[in-house]
Amino acid sequence: MNWTDWPGTIPEAEAMQERLATQVITTGAVSADTALVAGVDVSYADEDRLAAAVVLLDTGTLELVESAVVTGRASFPYRPGLFAFRELPSIVEALATLSGTPGLIVCDGHGLAHPRRFGLACHLGLITGIPAMGVAKNVFTGEFEEPGPHRGATSPLLDGGEEIGWVLRTQDGVKPVFVSAGHLIGLDNACEWALRLTPRYRLPETTRQADHLSRQVLARG
């Protein structure tokens, strides 16, 4: 990856998102036979210390196959809509150390469901060329109706009449998650994967395992 064009200011970062958003492909399906699925999460401590974790899970058993963690320091200020610029360098570095290649990357955050239609999942998918999707715990942009109470219920996430994601109930009676396409995958297929990855808990196993790992490493310094 070439980081020489990496933005150093907020206007530059926003301009980059608007430019790259035109290259995103929000259609496609990741084969159910795909062997490996990746999960990505980043934890923070004081003074911008961070730990970016990437896990590779067996799609059949959802068990950990391989993982990598990169610790570093956030080089970009947090700003809603731009947090990908804080995390991407470390995430990409961690991904590069893995020996296996996932058929899908699941991000902790949004993809298309972003003010400029270019959330972390879009950016990571574009950088890696690997299908990527977003599963976020909270809405960022758009309006929605509460989906039905049971696992599998969905409702559209709309922004000015445009469908930018689906609100998905991953377990009976729990708060729904927000699924959106990142790159090289359609929304319907992304939701199928989200359900496949949540046999027991609200959040995908990919996100849970990456989260645990990043926290664990951060705690040890």
Q: Where does this chain bind DNA (CB under 7 A)? A: 41-45, 78, 80-84, 108-110, 114, 119-120, 134, 136-140, 215, 218
CB of 60 to DNA, least distance (A): 26
The residue (of 6 and 44) whose beta carbon lies closer to DNA is 44
Nearest to 125 by CA among 81, 190, 203: 190
CB of 80 to DNA, least distance (A): 4
The residue (of 35 and 49) whose beta carbon lies closer to DNA is 49
The residue (of 60 and 173) whose beta carbon lies closer to DNA is 173
CB of 99 to DNA, least distance (A): 26
CB of 103 to DNA, least distance (A): 22
Pairing, β 154-159 against β 64-73: unpaired
Q: What is the rounded distance in angstroms from the CA atom of residue 118 to the CA atom of residue 22?
A: 9
The residue (of 108 and 159) whose beta carbon lies closer to DNA is 108
The residue (of 68 and 218) whose beta carbon lies closer to DNA is 218
The residue (of 35 and 217) whose beta carbon lies closer to DNA is 217
CB of 134 to DNA, least distance (A): 6
Please provide the DSSP assignment of the chain as one string: ---TT---SHHHHHHHHHHHHTT--------TT-SEEEEEEEEE-GGGEEEEEEEEEETTT--EEEEEEEEEE--S---TT-THHHHHHHHHHHHHT-SS--SEEEEES-SSSSTTS--HHHHHHHHH-S-EEEEESS--S-B-PPPPSSTT-EEEEEETTEEEEEEE--STTSPPEEEEEEES--HHHHHHHHHHT-SSSSS-HHHHHHHHHHHHHHHH-
Tokens 């109930």 correspond to: 169
CB of 218 to DNA, least distance (A): 7
